[in-house]
Amino acid sequence: MLPPNTTRRPSALPLIFLAFLVCLPAPSSAYKAKLLRQIFLGSGTSVESATGGPRIGSFLRDNSATSGDDQALSGGPLIRGCYTVDLVIQNQKFSVLLDSGSTDLLIPGTGLPAYPATSPSYNYAGKTGISGSVSTTFMDGSSWSGQFYKDDVSIVTSDGRTLRVSAPMAVMKDQTTNPTVTSGSGSNGLLGIAFDSIASYSGNPPHSFMSALVQSSIVSKDRVAFRGCPATSSTGSYVDWGAQATDLATCKTSTDEIPGVLGWAKVVDSTHYSVDVRAITITTSAGVATSVALPSGWQSGGANGHSIVDSCTTVLVLPSAAQQALVQAVKSSGAFANSGLSAAGIDSFLTNLQAVSGVTNIDYSLLPSITFTLTGASSGTVDVTLTGKNYIQGNGGGWLFFVVQPTSDTKVVLGAVVYDSFYIVMDRANARVGFGLGCDCNTSNNPSSVTAHA
C-alpha cells in the first residue's frame, strides 16, 4: 500500500542540481566514481503553514515494481532520494540514477518523443537488438517501450581511469508525452544495482551491468559500496564498484575484509536489498530507551512485505506507530525550546512534512536517537542508529526538513537518509548489506553508529 496523497513518478525524473560534490583523491587500486545528490526545485504549489515553508518532496518506492517506480508530492524545494553517476555510451555522457531497488540499465533512444534532440540518446539505427519489444508502465500513467541492446558502457573513475564493459541496456524508443518517463533534464536514465533475479533481460548472460562488470573481471567482487553525503556537507559522495576503496571508511575501521564495515545484515530475499528489522528502539538524550511495538503482520506478505535498504527513496519510512513515537520523543526533548518556532510550527515541521528556514537554534544534543536492530548476515544482530543530525537535514539552501515519513505498511524503508549517514556495502554475491560510519563521521555533524552483536 502506498502512503496517502502521493503521486507516482518513475525514478528517472530528477530535474535540477544545486550541489556539486567535491572529489577526493582515490587509490589506484579502487574503482571509485563521484556521485551527485539531487536537490530538486519543485514546480508545484508550496503548501504553506505557520512556518511559512514548503513541504518535503516524498519519494517513495513500491517494492512490487521491478523497475524504478517512485512517487513524489508536489511542492518544493524537494529532496530526492537518488544519486547519479556518469556513464559513457557511444561517446556520450549519460547521467543516470543509481538505484539499489532495480537491476536494469535504462536509457533513452534517439528520436524518443518529448525528449530533447540535444540531450544524450542511444542511436540504435542499424543495430540488432538482443530482445523482443519490452515495455513498462508507471503508476503516474507514464510508460515506455523499446528493446534491449548490448554495447560498450564506460565509467571514468575519480582518478581518471576508464572502465569499459559490454553490457545489456534497455533503450526507450517510445514514451508517453504527458507525463513523460524522462524529459532529459537533470538525468538521462537509470542504472539498477539490485539482484539479477529481477532483471528484465533474460537472454544470454550477463543479464545486468553489475554482472557484466564481474563476468568480464573488471571488478573481482560482485558488490558495490556507497559513501553518500547530505546536501549540506562539503565532503564528496562516491560509489565504489567492487567495494575496494578503503579511503571511503574515514573513521572507525574493523577487521572485516572491508575495513569500513562494522556489521553485516542478512538480505532475506534474492530480489532487492531486503532486511529483517527485528526491533525499533527510541532512546532519549538521558539514555531512556523505549522499544516500539511492531504492528500486526510485521514484514509479512512475501518479498513485497520485507523492509528494504533503498537508495532511491528520499526519506526514512516508518510504520505510523513508530513515526508517531519518534515525533513525540522529539517534541518532548526540549530541542526546539530556543528555535523561535511556535508549538503549531513545530507540529507542522514534524507531522506535515513542512520545511522551515532561518532556524539555527535547535539543540541537536537533546534529540532522541532511533535504532534499527537487523538480523545479522551469518549470526547475531546489527544495530544501526540514527540521531537528530541524521533525520533532520538541510537542502543546502537554508531549508530544514524532518526526513521521516509514516506509512500504513508493516515494514521499514531505509532510504537516502540512511545512505547519507552511513558507509553502505551492497554485497550481491553473499546476499548481505554492510554498514559502517559514513560521511562526516569524524565531526559532530554525523554521530550515527553501527554496533554488531554476536
- pLDDT tens figures, 284-304: 999 999 999 999 999 987 767
pLDDT category at 351 given cuts 50, 70, 90 is: confident
Is 350 a residue whose pLDDT tops 50?
yes
- pLDDT tens figures, 107-155: 999 999 999 999 999 999 999 999 999 998 875 688 899 999 999 999 8
- pLDDT tens figures, 65-82: 222 211 122 222 345 557
pLDDT of residue 31: 62
Tell me, what DSSP letter sits at residue 56? Answer: P
Contact (Cβ atoms closer than 8 angstroms) between residue 339 and residue 130: no
Of the two residues 90 and 43, the one the predictor is more confident about is: 90
How far apart CA 221 and CA 365 sit, in angstroms, is 40
Q: What is the mean pLDDT of residues 20-33?
A: 36
**Which residues, 6 or more positions from 169, have their beta carbon under 8 angstroms from its beta carbon?**
89, 104, 105, 106, 107, 122, 148, 149, 150, 151, 153, 209
| 3-state SS string for the chain | CCCCCCEEEECCCCCCCCCCCCCCCCCCCCCEEEEEEEEECCCCCCCCCCCCCCECCCEEECCCCCCCEEEECCCCCEEEEEEEEEEEECCEEEEEEEECCCCCEEEEECCCCCCCCCCCCECCCCCCCCCCEEEEECCCCCEEEEEEEEEEEEEECCCCCEEEEEEEEEEEEEECCCCCCCCCCCCCCEEECCCHHHCCCCCCCCCCHHHHHHHCCCCCCCEEEEECCCCCCCCCEEEEECCCCHHHCCCCCCCCCCCCCCEEEEECCCCCCEECEEEEEEECCCCCEEECCCCCCCCCCHHHHCEEECCCCCCEEEEHHHHHHHHHHHHHCCCCCCCCCCHHHHHHHHHCCECEECCCCCCHHHCCEEEEEEEECCCCEEEEEECHHHHEEECCCCEEEECEEEECCCCCEECHHHHCCEEEEEECCCCEEEEEECCCCCCCCCCCEEEEEC
How far from 85 is each of 156, 173, 190, 241, CA to CA, in Å? Answer: 10, 23, 9, 12
- pLDDT tens figures, 175-204: 999 988 888 887 898 899 999 999 999 999
pLDDT of residue 447: 85
Q: What is the mean pLDDT of residues 28-51?
A: 37
C-alpha cell at position 60 = 517513495
Return the beta strands (E) in 330-431 as ranges. 356-357, 369-375, 381-386, 392-394, 399-402, 404-407, 413-414, 422-427
Q: Which residue has the cell 550477463?
A: 206
Average predicted confidence (pLDDT) for the chain: 80
Tell me which of 61-70, 236-245, 419-428 is least confident. Answer: 61-70
pLDDT of residue 36: 56
